[in-house]
């Protein structure tokens, strides 16, 4: 099994838009202006975002690029179904990130500034395999978030002490 991923360039057969259209067709769904606008907007981003970010950017655009609030939400669900996006809930809000042609990773979440730092660890997958075996559980994915205070935010606070894990 080869790892074709690298942080800079990623090997994927199709672009996200093509991939989405393929998905839509496979389900008898239609390729509309707003779905196109959405994928484009979503893949213009390279960080984490939520529905409101998109709504904000798509609400004041020329009419054929304008997408309504309900449609943004409806399409976001489809993009997740299509495997293009991954979602996670952070403090009541649903946050999205690319999941297509993007290396598997997990997060460090700063509780002060809300920053998300990505990291990768093979360990996690190994733990998952062991668990699958032990519990006869079919693991399809995981979500690991370490929370705490990021380097930037630590500066303002107390002197640097030894890290105390909870």
Contact positions toward DNA, by CB under 7 A?
24, 28-35, 50-52, 66-71, 73-75, 77, 92-94
The span from the CA of 129 to the CA of 122, in Å, is 11
Residue 33's binding partner out of DNA, a second copy, none, with CB under 5 to 8 Å set by partner kind: DNA
Cβ proximity to DNA: between 8 and 70 the closer is: 70
Stretch that binds a second copy, among 1-9, 28-36, 52-60, 117-125 (CB under 8 A): 117-125
Give the CA dihedral 75, 44, 118, 55, nearest 10 degrees. -50
Distance CA 67, CA 54 (A): 9
Contact 98, 12 (CB under 8 A): no
Query: Smallest distance from the beta carbon of 54 to DNA, in angstroms?
Result: 10
Q: What is the CB neighbour count within 10 angstroms for residue 41?
A: 18
Residue 67 binds which one of a second copy, DNA, none, with CB within 5 to 8 A depending on kind?
DNA
Pairwise CA distance, residues 119 & 103, whole Å:
10
Q: Tell me which residues touch a second copy (CB under 8 A).
A: 89-92, 108, 110-111, 117, 119, 121, 123-129, 131-151, 154, 163, 165-166
């Amino acid at each position: 099994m080869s790892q074709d991923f690298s942080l800079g360039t990623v090997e994927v057969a199709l672009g996200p838009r093509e991939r989405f259209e393929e998905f839509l067709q496979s389900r008898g769904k239609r390729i509309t202006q707003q779905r196109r606008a959405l994928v484009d907007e979503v893949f213009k981003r390279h960080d984490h975002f939520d529905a409101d970010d998109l709504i904000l950017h798509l609400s004041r655009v020329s009419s054929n690029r304008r997408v309504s609030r309900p449609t943004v939400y409806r399409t976001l669900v489809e993009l997740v179904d299509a495997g293009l996006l991954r979602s996670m809930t952070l403090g009541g809000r649903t946050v999205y990130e690319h999941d297509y042609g993007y290396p598997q990773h997990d997060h460090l979440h700063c509780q002060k500034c809300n920053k998300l730092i990505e990291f990768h660890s093979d360990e996690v997958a190994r733990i998952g395999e062991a668990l699958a075996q032990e519990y006869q559980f079919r693991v399809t994915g995981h979500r690991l978030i370490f929370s705490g205070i990021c380097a930037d935010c630590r500066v303002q606070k107390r002197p640097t002490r030894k890290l105390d894990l909870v």
